Structure 1
Amino acid sequence: MKVTFSPKKSKDPNREGDIKVEYAPARRAFPRWRWYFVVLLVSSPLLFFFFRVGLGFLWASSPGVVFMEKVSVNCPRPGLVTELPVLRGQEISSGDLIAKVVEPMLEARKAPLIAERRAILAQVPQLAQEGSLKKSLALAGKVLDGERDVLRQVQWLFERGAATRAELNEARGKVVRAEGDVIRAQADLEVASATVDIPQNAVRLAQIEAELGAMEESQGELTILSPIPGVVLDLYAEEGQTVAQGAPVATLGDPDSVSVVAFVDPRYLSMIDLESPARVRFPGGTVMEADPEGRPVIAGPLPSALAEPFSEGKQTVQVYLKTDSPIPLNLMVEGLPVKIHWGFHFPWR
């Protein structure tokens, strides 16, 4: 048996009968670098975590804020604020007006004291007489001092021939009469004091007189002035508001005492050199060197405004830094957040 093979006619793969069929191109090999990119993208959070942990062992940095020494301005007496010409953030000089306060209830406070004084004087007339005699004695003393001054002037003129002996004798006579008035006033006062047999009322009357005198001195508007040149950081009162005695009216910041407070992680204290300068980075990229001001003595929780995720309420040590050059005015803002870099450290040293 003879077998023969005849090759089939070649057939166009893009045609099916008389119909043309378009095929998609064959799938190409996926580049290897794309696989590496996908692996890197998936593992990037884990790599970032290890990077931050490793950086913390080699590079010490701490959050911080700009800090000003603060001066509280308090109201020395209760009253009504009638004028408050300053604003938050305003620069003021020493002696500038901060507020004006009046005490509308002053007359109401004086009335019962005056009534009590009248009652005591009506009950014990000797006390009123004693007070009058004290005033007479004081007046007689002033007259005596004046006559003695006149006598010295007349004596000086008489020695130079500009005054007569009659004028000199007249001046001496006035001095003698004034001395007699003082002696009589002293005697009358001693007699009146001896007849007063109610020391308790006398003490109370003296207290009332002192209180009324203090009220007279403080009557009218009280002006509250700035004790230092500085910046108004905060205001606690408004015009038309009643304030209590000792209540704060404003808080001032002293620009001459601006420093930086760093909140240092306690684990860095044994790794960083607090005697070497640190680098302070301000918002906007400004970098300044600063030296620590003594050893840290205060510890406390990290402010929530500076806390990163998972670090809220973390205990830190406060380190005060003084910049080597003045902080620019646009960065001299109380509470401005900054970053303090202490440099590289090697824990295995």
Structure 2
Amino acid sequence: MKIRFDSRKEHNPTREQGLEVLYAPGKRVAFRLRWYLILFLVASPLLWFVGKVLYGFWLVDAPAQLRMPVVELRARDAGVVTHLDVRAGDRVEAGQRLIQLDNPEWRARMAQLQALPAGLEASAPQSIDGHERQVLSRQLERARQRVGQVQALLAQGAATRAELIAAESERDARESDLLAFDRRQRELSQRPYGEARDLLQQHAEQAWLESRLQGLELHASAPGLVAEVLVGEGENVGPGTLLMRLEGMGEPVLWIYLEPRYGRYAQAGQPLEVRMPDGNWLKARILQQADRAGRLPSDLRSPFAASQLGLLVPAALEEPLPERWRVDQLPLQTRFPNDWAGVFSAGR
């Protein structure tokens, strides 16, 4: 299509088919503006591309995400969620209880152990055994004295042979009782482990159950903000199940997705600027050199980007972050001052 502005109307714009037109000069201007607007719309992609190239020569920009220090709270053992003390968005202090789990099987086993006879001393009380042996020894000693007295009386003719036999029988009975007691004690001491071992195992199992049940009550290790709660009361969870996420109150880290061709900017100490969602710019600095690459999240990809991979560069803000922007995975835009010396050296 060829656009011409030298028609008859251009030479005599105030007349239309022999009639005088009062608004003809204004119509002529609108006619020109309309075609200029069409040309601008057709050429806008080319103008945008040229502007992008010129902007890239002056400044280097890259998408970024704000990452808050997040702590994942997971279940150590299987159990049932009995109490949820916090909700998403609540602030917590160090030591505050967050969630309470319970294990009914462990509770039932604990009740069984508590119903059994407790205490090693109850099965073999050494003090009672020693007292019993002393009684048996005294009885044997008196029986022996009785035999000696009867033998002396028999020699004097004051006792009969039957009384001596009765005294000796009493002595033998007391000796038999003492020997039986010693034999019983020896058998108990020679029994391998025996009841003592069972009682020790009972105490050890009970202590283990108490420690595991106490571990089902989870507390906050540091002050923070509850970012997400992933379970509900009455829900069964297994070992390693993710229960909730906590955002710490520490300084956030800015992860920048820098194009590989701008890898010279990924150096420790490199200054940059971060554009916040409200339009303000904050100063930041690269923490360390990039050591890995990552795929850009879908919400950070530009429509005309050639590559969806970028160098993952960590950076820290040098200015205080406003409280309203302390949001995990907040999308941001960063800007690097162009390194003209590096560009010219690379060109040479």
* Pairwise same-fold verdict (TM > 0.5): yes
One-letter amino acid of the structure 2 residue matched with residue 58 of structure 1: W
**What do the CA deviations read for 1:4-42 (whole angstroms, capped 9, x no partner)?**
xxxxxxxxxxxxxxxxxx844488777767655543332
Candidates 214, 219, 225, aligned match of 1:225: 219
Contact 1:233 1:252 in 2 (8 A): yes
Give the equivalent residue in structure 1 for 2:328: 334
CA distance in structure 2 between the partners assigned to 1:342 and 1:306 by the alignment? 17
1:196 aligns with 2:191: yes
Give the equivalent residue in structure 1 for 2:81: 81
One-letter amino acid of the structure 2 residue matched with residue 83 of structure 1: H
Structure 2 portions without partners, runs of 5+: 1-16, 131-181
Aligned ranges for residues 39-50 of structure 1 at < 5 Å? 39-50=39-50
Candidates 245, 254, 261, aligned match of 2:239: 245
One-letter amino acid of the structure 1 residue matched with residue 123 of structure 2: S
Give the equivalent residue in structure 2 for 1:102: 102
One-letter amino acid of the structure 1 residue matched with residue 86 of structure 2: V
Candidates 302, 307, 310, aligned match of 1:308: 302
Contact 1:303 1:313 in 2 (8 A): no
Give the equivalent residue in structure 2 for 1:63: 63
CA distance in structure 1 between the partners assigned to 2:184 and 2:282 by the alignment? 76
| Aligned-CA RMSD value | 3.9
Count matched residues. Answer: 268
Do the aligned partners of residues 278 and 221 (structure 1) sit closer, same or farther apart at CA in structure 2, a change above 3 Å counting? closer
CA distance in structure 2 between the partners assigned to 1:193 and 1:56 by the alignment? 91
CA distance in structure 1 between the partners assigned to 2:256 and 2:215 by the alignment? 44
Secondary structure of the residue aligned to 2:246 is strand
1:348 aligns with 2:323: no
1:279 aligns with 2:270: no
CA distance in structure 2 between the partners assigned to 1:190 and 1:244 by the alignment? 50
CA distance in structure 1 between the partners assigned to 2:265 and 2:106 by the alignment? 63
Do the aligned partners of residues 195 and 287 (structure 1) sit closer, same or farther apart at CA in structure 2, a change above 3 Å counting? same
**What do the CA deviations read for 1:108-149 (whole angstroms, capped 9, x no partner)?**
44589899x99xxxxxxxxx999934x759xx9xxxxxxxxx
Q: Counting helix residues as a fraction of each chain, which structure ranks higher? A: 2
Contact 1:302 1:313 in 2 (8 A): no
Give the equivalent residue in structure 1 for 2:123: 132
Secondary structure of the residue aligned to 1:213 is helix
CA distance in structure 2 between the partners assigned to 1:190 and 1:50 by the alignment? 103
Contact 1:73 1:226 in 2 (8 A): no
Aligned ranges for residues 105-254 of structure 1 at < 5 Å? 105-109=105-109, 132-133=123-124, 191=186, 195-197=190-192, 207=201, 209-216=203-210, 218=212, 222-254=216-248
Bigger radius of gyration: 2
Secondary structure of the residue aligned to 2:88 is coil
1:52 aligns with 2:46: no
Secondary structure of the residue aligned to 1:105 is helix
Identify the range of structure 1 (247-256 vs 47-56) with the bigger mean alpha-carbon deviation. Answer: 47-56
**What do the CA deviations read for 1:283-308 (whole angstroms, capped 9, x no partner)?**
01121101111222231111112111
TM-score normalised according to structure 1 size = 0.64
